[in-house]
Amino acid sequence: MARVPAGVRGAAITGWGTAVPDQVVTNHDLERTLDTNHDWIVERTGISERRIGGTTAGLSVESGRQAIERAGLQSGDIDALVLATTTPDRAVPGTSSTVQHLLGLSCGAYDLNAACSGWVYGLVNAHGLIALGAEKVLVIGTDTLARITDWDDRNTAILFADGSGAAVLEAVDGPGQLLGWHLSADGSAEEALYAEVGGKLQMEGREVFRRAVRIMVDSATASMAAAGVSADEIALVVPHQANIRIISASCERLGISLDRASIVLDHTGNTSAASIPLALADALDRGRICEGDIVLFVGFGAGMTAASAVVRWSAPVAPPTVADHRQGGLT
């Protein structure tokens, strides 16, 4: 765990954006090709539909542009771009370079792969960049898992989807939002969830579930301890949207009621690195986060990564200042 040292230059989220593809795949659609049904999928996962399509770069550009505009900035204001993704459009170059070009940025850009934990890893990275002198950093989490999903495999086809979420972090006077953070990984469990280069996702569902709850709870507990806050002080938890049973079990063990969680997976599916920023944007757009609220981000992913961060919300939460042209929307 890591407490933010006193005197470190802080940051705050000042803009956010989302993008999801137009194509909707419902549980009833999957019934036609898989040995499953709508009620079983909802009971096991909490998912009713998911969005698929698009490229990692294309979705990233959409969410990133919204975040920049909502923050009231121009593309030239961004000092660094961090793109968290497991599904780059090419092996080389990094998809962040494509996104940097298409957004008209003139800054450094790099990909970060921590699977479903990636956006929180990127958030911590961005705070480090700002502590070292950057003024404004764009953090995007995007995955297009549909193209590495075996749609004949019920184990994975009911879960995974495509999407993107972004946030702009800006340097502030004072300590900023971040109170504590935690990152971890356990490569000994990589066979539980993986995809070979050019291959499809392979998952041992029971093993993932068993490990996921434990490492999410461990990571969240470490971040809260570093931040010096208790579960009772958490106004909202924004978890990785993997499975409603994982979210519910993790919240129960943390002592946080499920009604204090931002949940969007019923209509987004598991979008990997995009899931936490999608859930954050939904909470902000719905007015669920107020000035001074303590918010917990927590996720887990392949490689058995885990990541969490505790922030005290300080950025203004205002109505959208850009057209809400998210493809398909989140509502």
37 is catalytic: no
Query: Do residues 184 and 215 share a domain?
Result: yes
Query: Do residues 159 and 27 share a domain?
Result: yes
Reported as type and span, the H/E element at residue 59 is helix 56-70
Query: Do residues 159 and 18 share a domain?
Result: yes
Domain holding 51, by residue range, is: 2-172
Query: Do residues 109 and 199 share a domain?
Result: no
Catalytic residue among 27, 113, 116, 125: 116
Place of tokens 């971890």: 184
251 is catalytic: no
Residue 70 lies in a domain: yes
d(CA 256, CA 248): 9
Compute, in degrees rounded to 10, the torsion defined by CA atoms 286, 291, 292, 295. Answer: 30
Give the phi and the psi of residue 120 in degrees, each rounded to 5. Answer: -70, -40
Query: Do residues 34 and 161 share a domain?
Result: yes
Residue 90 lies in a domain: yes
Q: Which amino acid would we find at residue 36? A: T
Query: Do residues 230 and 308 share a domain?
Result: yes
The domain that holds 52 is classified in CATH as 3.40.47.10
3-state secondary structure at position 306: strand
Residues facing residue 160 across a β-bridge = 270
Place of tokens 């579930």: 209
Residue 322 lies in a domain: no
- The answer to whether the CB of 328 falls within 8 A of the CB of 20 is yes
Residue 274 lies in a domain: yes
> With 0-12 CB in 10 A as exposed, 13-18 as middle and 19+ as buried, what is 164?
buried
Give the phi and the psi of residue 27 in degrees, each rounded to 5. Answer: -60, -35
Query: Do residues 166 and 39 share a domain?
Result: yes
d(CA 281, CA 98): 24
3-state secondary structure at position 184: strand
Query: Do residues 60 and 115 share a domain?
Result: yes
Catalytic residue among 27, 125, 182, 240: 240
270 is catalytic: yes
Q: Tell me the pLDDT of the chain (331 aa) as tens digits.
A: 577 777 888 999 999 999 999 999 999 999 999 999 999 999 999 999 999 999 999 999 999 999 999 999 999 999 999 999 999 999 999 999 999 999 999 999 999 999 999 999 999 999 999 999 999 999 999 999 999 999 999 999 999 999 999 999 999 988 899 999 999 999 999 899 989 999 998 999 889 988 999 999 999 999 999 999 999 999 999 999 999 999 999 999 999 999 999 999 999 999 999 999 999 999 999 999 999 999 999 999 999 999 999 999 985 444 333 444 334 344 3
Query: Do residues 166 and 119 share a domain?
Result: yes
